[in-house]
Chain A
Amino acid sequence: MAERDAEIGFKKETVSKLLSSFFKEDKTRRKCTYPTDCLMMHLLICCLIFPEAAVRSQKQAESEDCDQVDIEHFEKILPQLLLDF
């Protein structure tokens, strides 16, 4: 179970490719290097934000006494989440 939990997370290569695909200029795309420590930090942030979003949505659903987490719950927590990260 613990092994299965440890597996859940973003892959380093995926985040790296995703970020480099968003670089607009070819010059930047060619020259820019993305060091490992930077990447690890971004990965860490990614791994923090999304479980946090899930937990906050859960709590919102719990406070409204719903059995399922709906989009309305996520919409309610989204502004504060984006301000926090």
Chain B
Amino acid sequence: MSVDKEEAHQRLKAAVHYTVSRICQKMGEDYRREFSRQVIAAIAETAVRQCDIFAKDLEAFARQQIECLICLYLFQSIYIQNKSEELNQEQRDLKKKSTGKRKSRDTEEEESRQ
């Protein structure tokens, strides 16, 4: 059973490797620079590891739910968790800028009235 699983996993890895190699080949043709085999293997391995990390995160989040259902909300929350702080910071900056502009406009209007 475990041998079958291992074989299936290897096949999936091979599929990812094939797709990545095609992407790299296309890029190489576009930019006229070939990719070495090691690079293609490294990118494919990175892809598989990313999937591994993602699956583990999803499983950990799903365990907390009453229904063991991975919904889009969960997916987004995992993907966005690291970005949320950056987004908040950006929003704060935008607010500051807009309030700053308003203040400057108000002061200009007051000065013109005077």
- Secondary structure of the A side of the interface? helix
Which residue on chain B has the smallest CB distance to residue A45? Answer: B79
- Is B55 a contact of A50 with CB atoms below 8 Å? no
Within 8 A of B (CB), among A18-68: 18-25, 27-28, 31-35, 37-38, 41-42, 45-46, 49-51, 53-55, 57-58, 61-62, 66-68
Interface size class of A (residues with CB under 8 A): 35 or more
The complex places the Cα of A20 from the Cα of B71 at a distance, in Å, of 15
Which of B16-24, B89-97, B99-107 forms contacts with chain A?
B16-24
Which residue on chain B has the smallest CB distance to residue A38? Answer: B75
Task: Given A14-B12, A50-B47, verify A27-B68 contact (CB < 8 Å).
Answer: yes
Q: Decide if B70 is an interface residue (CB 8 Å cutoff).
A: yes
Report B55-74 CB contacts with A as 1/0, cut-off 8 Å: 11011001100001111100
Task: Given A18-B48, A69-B39, A70-B39, verify A50-B56 contact (CB < 8 Å).
Answer: no
- Is A22 a contact of B52 with CB atoms below 8 Å? yes
Report B29-58 CB contacts with A as 1/0, cut-off 8 Å: 001011110110011001110111011101
Taking the nearest CB of chain B, how far is it from the CB of A14, in angstroms? 5
Q: Which of B20, B42, B75 contacts A42 (CB 8 A)?
A: B75
What residues make up the interface of B, taking CB atoms closer than 8 Å to A?
A: 5, 8-9, 12, 15-16, 19-20, 22-24, 26-28, 31, 33-36, 38-39, 42-43, 46-48, 50-52, 54-56, 58-59, 62-63, 68-72, 75-76, 79
What residues make up the interface of A, taking CB atoms closer than 8 Å to B?
A: 5, 8-11, 14-15, 17-25, 27-28, 31-35, 37-38, 41-42, 45-46, 49-51, 53-55, 57-58, 61-62, 66-71, 73-75, 78, 82, 85
